[in-house]
Amino acid sequence: MVTIQQVQTTLKFTYGIVPIVAGLDKFTNLLTHWADYLGRNQSMIPFDAMLFMKIVGIIEIIAGLIVFIRPLAGAYIVMAWLICIALQLIISGQYFDVAVRDLVMAVGAYTLAQLTRIQAGPNRS
């Protein structure tokens, strides 16, 4: 039988590792060319799009590490980050499939936060 702790651990590894991998890939562009996701918003950034994506990568790496160190706070950070990415994609009018995926992933991060809160108990959250 699967326990709440097993589900929480699976989600913690998912939402810890995925942002770290995506953040590291901002420096290599092996998975995708990340600057393309800026779309029409590239002109609003006052510096090079690749530099911007490297800054984003550092933020993602830090967010993933926080999930491992403080899962409750990290889950909320990753959830908010994913919602912001999805909103940016929707506003840009492109990559709606990625926006929907990120919103679904945000729900998963919220689930991790709630399971972590349950695991902590009423007096430790």
Q: Give residue-wise pLDDT tens across range 95-110.
A: 899 999 999 999 999 9
Check residue 23 and give its pLDDT.
97
Residue 120: predicted pLDDT: 83
* pLDDT per 10-residue tile (average), the chain, 125 residues: 92 97 95 82 82 94 98 98 93 91 98 93 61
Place of tokens 């913690």: 12
- Tell me the three state secondary structure of residue 55: helix
Please give the distance of CA 62 from its chain centroid, rounded to a whole number: 10
Q: pTM value?
A: 0.88
Residue 125's pLDDT is 46
Domain residue ranges of the chain, discontinuous segments joined by +: 4-120
- What are the tokens at 20? 């770290």
| Residue 79 to residue 73: CA distance in whole angstroms | 10
Helices assigned H by DSSP within 1-125: 4-25, 49-69, 71-92, 96-120
Given a contact cutoff of 8 angstroms between Cβ atoms, the answer to whether 58 and 104 are in contact is: no
